[in-house]
Amino acid sequence: MQKSKSLRILLLLRYLYTNTDMEHKAVTAQLLEYLASQGIMIDRHTLASDLMLLEQNDFGVEKDTGEGAANQYFIENRQYSLPELKLLLDAIATAKFISPRKSEELVRKISGFTSTHYAEKLVRHLYTTPYTKYDIAQIYYIIDRVMDAIMRIKK
């Protein structure tokens, strides 16, 4: 079955977003291999055209021609920088009112805003210091009710 160009570009963008960053770049051969594993067979020229489309339309895709023979591609600009993600994760880790289970869930979600390589660093950084956590399952609903009450009083 012939895959559409839109799907091909979306898969390519997802691969780059998940697996690349400034320190971990993907060469053309890796990208072609990934697309082939997804059932999409294209040549280098088509791939170059797709990547150029992503570069030119502000998806954060960058091309590093470097000194090597192969072009390398990666996502440079993301919604959140690595220091911003560390700040968010530290806030979650130290918030006593967020249960350990909810903390793990939030850490997993926030780590998805960067490459898998940086996500590993973020999580490793987080679990080096134990924090006291309270396991209050209903805390989020309680906070929501308190905020609703405050808003009603202000009206």
pLDDT in tens, 84-109: 999 999 888 888 888 888 888 898 89
Q: Is pTM beyond 0.95 here?
A: no
Q: What is the mean pLDDT of residues 14-32?
A: 94
One of 2.40.110.10, 1.10.10.10, 1.10.150.80, 1.20.1260.10 is the CATH number of 5-75, namely 1.10.10.10
Query: Helices (DSSP H) in 1-155: which residue ranges?
Result: 5-19, 28-37, 44-56, 82-94, 100-111, 116-126, 139-154
Q: In the predicted model, is pLDDT for residue 1 greater than 60?
A: no
Domain boundaries, the chain: 5-75, 82-154
What pLDDT is attached to residue 131?
Answer: 59
